[in-house]
Chain A
Amino acid sequence: MSICCAKGFRGGYLFKNIQGIPKANVEEMKIPKYVVIPFAQGFGEQTIPLVKAGDSVKAGQIIGKGSEGISTPVHSSVNGTVREIREVEYKGKKILAAILDASASQDIVLLEGAKQDLFKLNKESISRLLYMSGVSSLGATGLPTLEKSSALEIEKVKCLIVCALETQPFAMPTGLVYESKISAISMGIQALQRFYQDVPVYIGVSSKDKKFAQSLENALAQSKGIAIKFLSPKYPQELPEILTESLTGICVPDGQKPDAIGAVVLDIADTIAVYEALSAGKPVIEKWISLGGKGYKENKILKVRVGTPVSEIAEQFARRDTETRFLLGDPLTGDMAENMQLTPIGRDIKSTSCIEDDKTRHFLAFLQPGFRSDSNSKTFVSSFLPFGKKLDTNLHGEHRPCIQCAYCEDICPRPLYPHLLHKYCSHGMAEEAKGIRLHACIECGLCSYVCPSKISIMNDIQKGKEELKKEL
């Protein structure tokens, strides 16, 4: 086994010196007064609720299980009672969720059958533990088990991909955060590798995290078929399609997820969840999320219970002195929470961002040297100076027609012409756009970010895709 550098991908964007990057200290958040548990978290369809209003539940108890399609059980993350079951909006979709009033007790119901020595578990019990603990809904397309928990069947798994880097603007320092968890990570990876009949494992580590990669290699020294590769920390390296291609060299077909080529893509945090589920029977009811952006008082890692409403987080950690905007996820792909009281932190959320809502009109904005502006072009002084750059919600310019500057083409991580897709899709010519690989777009959001005409290219592309879906 050796650490080598993986082939890069074309395009992409390196976020450098951004203000508001979370530090590596982990803080545990108190159990909130109530939690919102959507019945579909991570990969899979909505499960059937097993509780009704007024029932008392325990932390770790399964409150939703089974559906016609692919699903993974959903757990209560607190001890308390069910207040009501209602529809909420989560990640842009309307789904049922249980609202639970929580008590302060920390007890968690653990699953039975877990063993400290992972290698003594047989295949059936590993599968059961992964499924019942909710781990099988993690990752890009879920973890295949003997149950129906992933689009991929267990025999068809060809490789396991572990993403140990973040490249979004407010990327957490993965190496520092997970340094203390290396043994858990390595055990989790080894157990999964064994579970999937010794498939090759690829671990992508940021080329900045040399030390972390070294200690990971030492911990995994005995296993075979595990390759740790350095990846350049260009956004969107962490998106599953790009990650799969850079690590395995196999392209994911347009419009499909990595499961199309038999790859199971996991985040590094998910491997810890695997380890905890197998060794202690702990369900996924706690989550590490990063707090990024200058809208927070302090940027750090937060350990929260799954289902914590984002309003609680915003209230406790966001700045009060300025208007801020809270985003569920990273600033490029994250959704804005419409109703913060009813928007929870789900199992599949890795990060939250809170950015300043800047409505001030700067005098002669286009002539200012721009010490704090981030830009793909090198027209700001900040490109040549090491000052921290600020990201906010201001548009930084007026809407203009596309002038075909081709910044979006330079930046696009896929072989696409985003400005052409925008032209076709915004004029209702989605069929034409299909001919220039509309479905290859992975919606990383970079094209909209860099557009000097402030066109929402990604939004147009999404609309085009929806239009095509309707026609079918």
Chain B
Amino acid sequence: MFRKIFDLQYKMLEKYPFLRPLKPLVDAGDNFFYGTPHTTKEKPYIREGIDIKRFMIMVLFAVLPAAIASVYFYGQRAILVILTSYIVGGLTEVVFCIVRKEEITEGFLITGILYPLILPPTIPLWMISVGIFFGVIFGKEVFGGTGKNPFNAALVARCFLYIAFPLYMTGGAFVEPYPNSISVENYKPVFQGLGGFTSHRGLLSHEKKNGKYEAVSEATPLAKAKELRLKLAEEGSTQEDYKKYMEYVKKTIPNLLWGYRSGSMGETCSVLLILGGIALMVMKVANWRTILSTIAGGAICAFFFYDAHCLADRLYLVAFSLLSGGFLFGAIFMTTDPVTGPVTQAGRYFYGFAIGCIALVIRRFSGYAEGIMFAILLMNIFAALIDEIVIMVRYRGVKK
């Protein structure tokens, strides 16, 4: 029955030559719903079961809890945001494939969901469209499509928005989650209600008439902590200021863990991110080397960068650094993009570690509160260089 739809489509393609350019689209649909009829033609004559579709869909499953959490914390608007990203980005991708007469690949399934999850919840829909349009074209297609892009398309899109529309991407763009979602008491979440599942606050446009958001604007924990820390660095800071700073850090950590905090849509609930990350590592879809070395790099830098009076405070600051902002989301879903990272396993350790370090350097020493995005994009550039060095060291004795 279902099969007949595709058969009909293929017949139409044959009948009407002007429809021919749409073949990649029909092929993609056909291949999506039905497995391949092709058999092996070259040695070895057996192939294992996994294909790129399954590979990508597993990432989608791993990020799905975080996506659902974003709906829970920020309302049904999140669904609309994700849909917009999929539709606009997907269309861009399809148009490119039709023009190039290439097969449509599955890479966009991931970009399309990762991108909205790293945006603030109040982002206007048109901006999402502009961002993903830019990201898909300049992050991926100009380099030759999936498998050849040096930069993570989702991050390119976000970076573009971050620089082009800073007002919508920082500070006031971040809002509090729904008060009826959860509250955290002593590291345990208390569910208050259905949260954003039942609300469609600011569904189409988040802006109200006089430029104020409907929801309560709330600085991200990272920005707040940075503010407190800078106050500490000023002259004439007192013991009181330090206490205030540490108190804020300690108080926020449970919220960071369970997701009741302001931030980008998908990055808030650390527990779900960690679960997704573990699932990806167990399934061998994400490379554990990159994830763990990113976290290690971040932890080590945080340990030395943030001054504290005692070891316990230092460890609190490390935990705060790792859980806050987009660090975990970046480490688990962005650094592990196999295309933009190094191709050698040894290089992956270094790549991850450098991302962790650079993210913390940006957070600590620059004007930006968050640094993981720039860190990953920066290391994307160096991925090829890392590979070169790894291969040079490994094959130093080999005659050319």
Q: Residues of A at under 8 Å CB distance from B? A: 169, 325, 327, 331-336, 355, 357-367, 370, 373-380, 391-398, 400-407, 409-410, 415, 417, 419-420, 431, 434-437, 445, 448-454, 456, 458-459
**Most B-side CB within 10 Å, residue of A396, A407, A415, A450:** A396
Q: Which residues of A contact B341 (CB under 8 A)?
A: 404
Q: Which residues of B contact A402 (CB under 8 A)?
A: 147
| 13 A-B interface contacts by CB (under 8 A) | A325-B39, A361-B35, A362-B34, A365-B34, A394-B35, A395-B38, A398-B53, A400-B105, A403-B55, A406-B345, A437-B395, A449-B48, A452-B55
Q: Which residues of A contact B339 (CB under 8 A)?
A: 403-404
B48 touches A376 (CB 8 A): yes
By beta carbon, the residue of chain B nearest A410 is: B345
Check if B309 is an interface residue, CB within 8 A of chain A: no
With the chains together, A13 CA to B212 CA distance in Å?
59
Q: Which residues of B contact A436 (CB under 8 A)?
A: 391, 395, 398
Given A359-B37, A401-B105, A396 contacting B338 (CB threshold 8 A)? no
**Inter-chain pairs besides A363-B34, A398-B53, A456-B42, 13 sampled, C-beta below 8 Å:** A333-B43, A335-B43, A365-B36, A365-B53, A375-B49, A394-B36, A398-B36, A406-B348, A409-B344, A436-B398, A437-B398, A449-B47, A456-B43
Q: Which residues of B contact A355 (CB under 8 A)?
A: 45-46
Of the residues B49, B57, B282, contact of A370 by C-beta under 8 Å: B49
A449 touches B44 (CB 8 A): yes
Check if B171 is an interface residue, CB within 8 A of chain A: no
A448 touches B49 (CB 8 A): no
Of the residues B2, B51, B287, contact of A398 by C-beta under 8 Å: B51
Check if B243 is an interface residue, CB within 8 A of chain A: no
Check if B365 is an interface residue, CB within 8 A of chain A: no
Q: Which residues of B contact A357 (CB under 8 A)?
A: 39
With the chains together, A402 CA to B46 CA distance in Å?
19
A214 to chain B: closest CB distance in Å? 34
A419 to chain B: closest CB distance in Å? 6
B45 touches A327 (CB 8 A): yes
With the chains together, A405 CA to B280 CA distance in Å?
13
A434 touches B49 (CB 8 A): no
Across the A-B interface, how many residue pairs have beta carbons closer than 8 Å? Answer: 200
By beta carbon, the residue of chain A nearest B107 is: A403
Q: Which residues of A contact B53 (CB under 8 A)?
A: 365-366, 397-398
By beta carbon, the residue of chain A nearest B41 is: A456
Given A334-B45, A405-B338, A436-B395, A397 contacting B400 (CB threshold 8 A)? no
Q: Which residues of A contact B33 (CB under 8 A)?
A: 363-364
B283 touches A366 (CB 8 A): no
Of the residues B52, B284, B348, contact of A403 by C-beta under 8 Å: B52
A404 touches B343 (CB 8 A): yes
- B3-20 residues with Cβ-Cβ distance < 8 A to A are none
Given A366-B57, A401-B147, A393 contacting B46 (CB threshold 8 A)? yes
B48 touches A450 (CB 8 A): yes
B46 touches A379 (CB 8 A): no
A401 touches B343 (CB 8 A): no
A396 touches B105 (CB 8 A): no
B37 to chain A: closest CB distance in Å? 5
Q: Which residues of A contact B148 (CB under 8 A)?
A: 401
B323 to chain A: closest CB distance in Å? 27
B180 to chain A: closest CB distance in Å? 34
By beta carbon, the residue of chain A nearest B27 is: A398
- B307-355 residues with Cβ-Cβ distance < 8 A to A are 338-339, 341, 343-345, 348
Q: Residues of B at under 8 Å CB distance from A? A: 2, 31, 33-40, 42-55, 57-58, 103, 105-107, 145-148, 282-285, 287, 338-339, 341, 343-345, 348, 391, 394-395, 398, 400
B57 touches A367 (CB 8 A): yes
Q: Which residues of A contact B394 (CB under 8 A)?
A: 415
B103 touches A398 (CB 8 A): yes
B50 touches A394 (CB 8 A): no
B47 touches A448 (CB 8 A): yes
Of the residues A374, A393, A452, contact of B45 by C-beta under 8 Å: A393
With the chains together, A456 CA to B107 CA distance in Å?
21
A377 touches B50 (CB 8 A): yes
By beta carbon, the residue of chain A nearest B55 is: A452
A275 to chain B: closest CB distance in Å? 34
With the chains together, A434 CA to B55 CA distance in Å?
31
Q: Which residues of A contact B2 (CB under 8 A)?
A: 363
Q: Which residues of B contact A403 (CB under 8 A)?
A: 52, 55, 107, 146-147, 338-339
Q: Which residues of B contact A373 (CB under 8 A)?
A: 48-50
Q: Which residues of A contact B38 (CB under 8 A)?
A: 394-395, 398
Q: Which residues of A contact B348 (CB under 8 A)?
A: 406
A393 touches B39 (CB 8 A): yes
A401 to chain B: closest CB distance in Å? 3
Q: Which residues of A contact B36 (CB under 8 A)?
A: 361, 365, 394-398
With the chains together, A449 CA to B39 CA distance in Å?
13
Given A331-B46, A377-B284, A358 contacting B51 (CB threshold 8 A)? no
With the chains together, A375 CA to B345 CA distance in Å?
20
By beta carbon, the residue of chain A nearest B28 is: A398
**Most B-side CB within 10 Å, residue of A361, A366, A450, A459:** A366
**Most A-side CB within 10 Å, residue of B43, B50, B148:** B50
With the chains together, A357 CA to B58 CA distance in Å?
28
B50 touches A379 (CB 8 A): yes
Q: Which residues of A contact B283 (CB under 8 A)?
A: 377-379
B51 touches A366 (CB 8 A): yes
With the chains together, A458 CA to B43 CA distance in Å?
8
Of the residues B45, B147, B344, B398, contact of A331 by C-beta under 8 Å: B45
B39 touches A405 (CB 8 A): no
Q: Which residues of B contact A409 (CB under 8 A)?
A: 343-345
Of the residues B35, B40, B57, B58, contact of A393 by C-beta under 8 Å: B40
With the chains together, A439 CA to B287 CA distance in Å?
28
B41 to chain A: closest CB distance in Å? 8
With the chains together, A405 CA to B51 CA distance in Å?
11
Of the residues A395, A410, A420, A450, contact of B40 by C-beta under 8 Å: A395
B143 to chain A: closest CB distance in Å? 12
Of the residues A363, A396, A401, A431, contact of B49 by C-beta under 8 Å: A396
B95 to chain A: closest CB distance in Å? 19
B34 touches A435 (CB 8 A): no
With the chains together, A116 CA to B344 CA distance in Å?
57
Given A401-B105, A406-B345, A379 contacting B54 (CB threshold 8 A)? yes
With the chains together, A92 CA to B226 CA distance in Å?
68
